[in-house]
């Protein structure tokens, strides 16, 4: 409230100053009326959208005019507007004849349409500036030191549907200006819309983040539009730990009740799938559901964490983002790297140590497995980007070509960070490529050598970029001698907030499908945590456990938040960001394929892999054999269902989206063959002397971790009976009609959404 009071007064002052020049421009002291390019003209260009990526801020400009992206380089823009094209874009003599103004007001056709109103204050600023001689950025101009926005966050309850944002800028000369009308506004999603004057209007109930941008500063404002619910009654399970405290506190503020806790058969299935990447067997599921032990959920969590499949499943996740892939690492490299990752998880190596070993590794990639980290990331830029993304939750890619438009990173930061990874080279073996034309293939052992002289240059200045920690200090001469060791120490310190939070967030994401900061590798001021105290708690817990993966997993899985049902209640159906109910997500490719194998008792096969290996245990992406001969059914299934190629160091490469092709594959190719296989579990059950009911029940428990409902049992047994009556000859010579019916039932179970989706 403090700001709004103080900004009202400011507005008045600002009007006085800005209204004067147009009235008596000639009489005023030129210093008084002076429109400064960097602080007066630039905001107007930004506000009008001239320098956006779709317009003149595009890498190639538009219509022959290129401006710096979002006005990050005023000197460049000044040159483009005033000096370039022989100055034809401006006219100091008659400002209103200047091309830049005529285009903007639509007097001359403009690809970008109408950008300015001739009667507006912004038009006046530009024309004044032109009239005064269109002076360029001056060394004496004040610079922006602080941007204050209000409110800093907002919850807007019905019947209200709007919030007016204000922005106040403080300059180096002590000037303070209300810049509400000149600041740029952008929303993170379509839940609301924002007017040029900072008025945000709800379109849908839910949360959004407004980014306020003025000159080089940005501030986020989280806004939630909620229903009023005058008779709202808070209802929630008792918090099990601090996760629940923070999640529930937020839900209560938003007047949302969490869904009820999920039932036991949902929980047992969810816990198995999330922790170890497989569904419980029918015996395991039954035992859990029928157990009367009041602590059975926490005990189950503890048991799951000790199972060898935990290491398999989490090794898969880390192998994905560490680019464990055959073409670049060779089959042997993939095997040793994956083996090393898995072993570290099995032996509970602390995450910080694991990361230190990765980023300081060198030597033979066959003998020293973590050296594959640098074998996969082959140049300083890629190494820098990957390391920042995976271990600091930071996307630097944008800053390679221009200052990051949504973050604080400059191009200089980018190359100074890349410099940390510059002193490396590779020594190949004389192994032959399988396909000599495929230059992406790197066969045989390769040794990562640390060199002394290679440096990265900033392409803008052509100067060597001195190595510097991202957002930290420049390395001393001494430190530069052992850059990677220094980096590892700085990066993985418990005091390094970005490291701790990004690692905790990565783990959280595995369970909720949504990071507290989301996307999980995009920590920045303008992408705030959806629940900051929750983020803090997860980070604290990770440090407290000395970076132990299992401790944080247990902390998460034992929370009530994790154990909520996926079915929404009447208050929380529209919530997708505050964890009011469990998320429904299609399971990973490997998990679905393994579950099919488990239910059918027929392992899937992958070319060039040992028989019986589970998809989750596969060390790489595609074997040499599969590359040569073309993938088989198992390989194709994984690819179609979104197993990543592991070319990008990003969890986003794995896809859990759904496609038509996946369904065609589940109906036809592959799965059907496995279902009608004479040596599978379905045949075994069909030909056993167990009763129809018994057999149906068994299939339900093994596929869905639950018994059939009465309706389902009736339908399933009717199917069997129907087949017996028909004794149809069209079923391709199958004489056992119970078998045909059970095959159909098995197909239906393996295609049920509760089989394919985690809920």
Interface residues for another protein in 74-103 (CB under 8 A)?
Answer: 99, 102
CA–CA separation, 420 and 396 (whole Å): 14
CB of 435 to another protein, least distance (A): 7
List CB contacts of 437: < 8 A, sequence separation 6 or more.
none
- Interface of this chain with another protein, residues 417 to 456, rule: CB under 8 A: 435, 437-440
Site pattern 704..723 for another protein (x: CB under 8 A): x----x-xx--xx--x----
| Among positions 28, 348, 525, 752, the unique one binding another protein when judged by CB under 8 A | 752
Residue 185 φ/ψ, nearest 5 degrees? -125, 135
- Bond preceding residue 519 cis, omega within 30 of 0: yes
CB of 663 to another protein, least distance (A): 4
| Among positions 28, 75, 145, 652, the unique one binding another protein when judged by CB under 8 A | 652
CB of 644 to another protein, least distance (A): 8
- Interface of this chain with another protein, residues 263 to 322, rule: CB under 8 A: none
Ramachandran class of 471: left when φ > 0, alpha when ψ lies in -120 to 50, beta otherwise: left
Extended strands (E) in 574-645: 585-586
CB of 634 to another protein, least distance (A): 17
Q: Tokens at residue 215, please?
A: 């000159």
- Bridge partners (DSSP) of residue 83 are none
Residue 426 φ/ψ, nearest 5 degrees? -120, 140
- Interface of this chain with another protein, residues 376 to 405, rule: CB under 8 A: 395, 397-398
CA–CA separation, 492 and 487 (whole Å): 8
CA–CA separation, 394 and 367 (whole Å): 31
Residue 171 φ/ψ, nearest 5 degrees? -105, 165
- Interface of this chain with another protein, residues 343 to 372, rule: CB under 8 A: none
| Among positions 203, 408, 585, 636, the unique one binding another protein when judged by CB under 8 A | 585
Asked if residue 751 binds another protein (CB under 8 A), the reply is yes
- Interface of this chain with another protein, residues 103 to 142, rule: CB under 8 A: 108-111, 113
- Interface of this chain with another protein, residues 511 to 570, rule: CB under 8 A: 519, 522, 566-568
Q: What is the DSSP letter of 119?
A: T
User: Is residue 374 within 8 Å of residue 501, measured between CB atoms?
Assistant: no
| Among positions 153, 645, 684, 698, the unique one binding another protein when judged by CB under 8 A | 645
- Bridge partners (DSSP) of residue 181 are none
Nearer to another protein, 299 or 673 (CB): 673
Helix/strand/coil percent split, the chain, to 5: 45, 10, 45
CB of 723 to another protein, least distance (A): 9
Asked if residue 190 binds another protein (CB under 8 A), the reply is no
Asked if residue 653 binds another protein (CB under 8 A), the reply is yes
CA–CA separation, 30 and 128 (whole Å): 11
Site pattern 596..635 for another protein (x: CB under 8 A): ----------------------------------------
Q: Tokens at residue 637, please?
A: 């299934």
CB of 547 to another protein, least distance (A): 27
Q: What is the DSSP letter of 39?
A: I
CB of 618 to another protein, least distance (A): 20
CA–CA separation, 756 and 740 (whole Å): 23
CA–CA separation, 67 and 51 (whole Å): 6
| Among positions 260, 464, 647, 721, the unique one binding another protein when judged by CB under 8 A | 647
Nearer to another protein, 494 or 519 (CB): 519
Binders of another protein: how many residues, by CB under 8 A?
76
| Among positions 228, 668, 678, 694, the unique one binding another protein when judged by CB under 8 A | 668
Outline where 306-371 has alpha helix (H): 308-321, 326-346, 351-359
CB of 662 to another protein, least distance (A): 7
CA–CA separation, 315 and 619 (whole Å): 9
CB of 84 to another protein, least distance (A): 15
Asked if residue 676 binds another protein (CB under 8 A), the reply is yes
- Bridge partners (DSSP) of residue 457 are 464
Nearer to another protein, 197 or 659 (CB): 659
- Interface of this chain with another protein, residues 10 to 69, rule: CB under 8 A: 53-54, 58, 60, 63-64
């Amino acid at each position: 409230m403090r700001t709004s009071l103080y900004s009202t007064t400011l507005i008045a002052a600002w009007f006085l100053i800005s209204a004067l020049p147009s009235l008596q421009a000639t009489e005023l002291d030129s210093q008084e009326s002076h429109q400064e390019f960097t602080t007066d003209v630039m905001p107007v260009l930004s506000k009008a959208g001239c320098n956006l990526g779709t317009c003149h801020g595009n890498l190639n400009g538009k219509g022959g005019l290129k401006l710096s992206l979002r006005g990050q380089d005023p000197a460049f823009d000044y040159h483009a507007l005033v000096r370039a094209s022989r100055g034809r874009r401006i006219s100091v003599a008659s400002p209103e004849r200047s091309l830049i103004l005529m285009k903007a007001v639509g007097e001359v056709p403009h690809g970008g349409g109408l950008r300015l109103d001739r009667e507006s204050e912004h038009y006046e600023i530009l024309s004044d500036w032109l009239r005064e001689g269109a002076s360029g950025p001056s060394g004496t101009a004040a610079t922006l030191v602080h941007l204050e926005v209000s409110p800093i966050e907002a919850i807007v309850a019905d019947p209200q549907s709007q919030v007016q944002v204000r922005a106040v800028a403080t300059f180096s000369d002590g000037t303070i200006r209300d810049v509400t009308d000149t600041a740029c506004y952008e929303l993170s999603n379509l839940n609301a819309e924002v007017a040029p004057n900072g008025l945000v209007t709800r379109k849908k109930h839910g949360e959004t983040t407004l980014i306020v941008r003025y000159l080089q500063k940005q501030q986020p404002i989280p806004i939630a539009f909620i229903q009023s619910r005058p008779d709202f009654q808070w209802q929630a399970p008792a918090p099990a730990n601090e996760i629940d405290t923070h999640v529930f506190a937020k839900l209560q503020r938003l007047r949302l009740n969490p869904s009820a806790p999920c039932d036991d058969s949902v929980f047992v299935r969810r816990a198995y799938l999330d922790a170890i990447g497989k569904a419980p067997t029918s015996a395991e599921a039954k035992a859990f559901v029928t157990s009367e032990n009041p602590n059975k959920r926490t005990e189950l969590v503890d048991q799951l964490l000790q199972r060898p499949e935990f290491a398999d499943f989490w090794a898969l996740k880390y192998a994905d983002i560490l680019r464990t892939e055959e073409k670049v690492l060779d089959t042997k490299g993939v095997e040793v790297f994956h083996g090393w990752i898995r072993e570290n998880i099995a032996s509970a190596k602390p995450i910080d140590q694991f990361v230190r070993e990765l980023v300081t590794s060198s030597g033979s990639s066959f003998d020293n497995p973590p050296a594959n980290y640098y074998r996969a990331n082959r140049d300083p830029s890629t190494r820098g980007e990957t390391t920042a993304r995976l271990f600091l939750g930071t996307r630097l890619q944008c800053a390679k070509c221009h200052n990051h438009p949504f973050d604080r990173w400059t191009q200089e930061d980018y190359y100074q960070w890349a410099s940390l990874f510059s002193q490396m080279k590779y020594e190949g073996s004389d192994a032959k490529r399988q396909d000599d034309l495929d230059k992406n293939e790197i066969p045989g052992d390769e040794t990562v050598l640390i060199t002394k002289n290679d440096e990265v240059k900033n392409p803008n200045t052509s100067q060597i970029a001195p190595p510097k920690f991202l957002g930290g200090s420049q390395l001393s001469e001494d430190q530069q001698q052992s850059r990677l060791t220094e980096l590892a120490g700085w990066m993985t310190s418990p005091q390094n907030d970005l490291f701790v939070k990004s690692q905790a967030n990565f783990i959280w994401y595995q369970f909720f499908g949504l990071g507290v900061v989301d996307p999980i590798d995009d920590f920045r001021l303008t992408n705030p945590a959806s629940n900051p105290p929750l983020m803090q708690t997860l980070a604290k817990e990770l440090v407290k456990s000395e970076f132990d993966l299992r401790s944080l997993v247990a902390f998460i899985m034992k929370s009530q938040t994790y154990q909520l049902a996926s079915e929404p209640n009447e208050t929380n159906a529209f919530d997708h960001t505050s964890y009011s109910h469990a998320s429904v997500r299609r399971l990973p490719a490997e998990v679905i394929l393994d579950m099919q194998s488990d239910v059918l008792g027929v392992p899937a096969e992958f070319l060039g892999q040992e028989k019986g290996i589970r998809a989750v245990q596969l060390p790489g992406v595609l074997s040499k054999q599969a590359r040569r001969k073309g993938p088989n059914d198992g390989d194709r299934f994984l690819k179609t269902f979104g197993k990543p190629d592991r070319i990008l160091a990003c969890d986003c490469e794995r896809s859990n989206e759904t496609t038509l092709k996946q369904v065609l594959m589940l109906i036809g190719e592959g799965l059907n063959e496995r279902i009608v296989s004479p040596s599978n579990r379905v045949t075994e059950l069909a030909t056993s002397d167990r009763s129809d009911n018994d057999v149906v029940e068994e299939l339900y428990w093994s596929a869905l971790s639950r018994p059939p409902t009465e309706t389902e049992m009736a339908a399933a047994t009717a199917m069997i009976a129907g087949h017996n009556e028909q004794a149809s000859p069209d079923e391709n010579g199958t004489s056992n009609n119970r078998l045909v019916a059970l095959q159909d039932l098995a197909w239906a179970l393996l295609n049920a959404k509760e089989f394919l989706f985690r809920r």
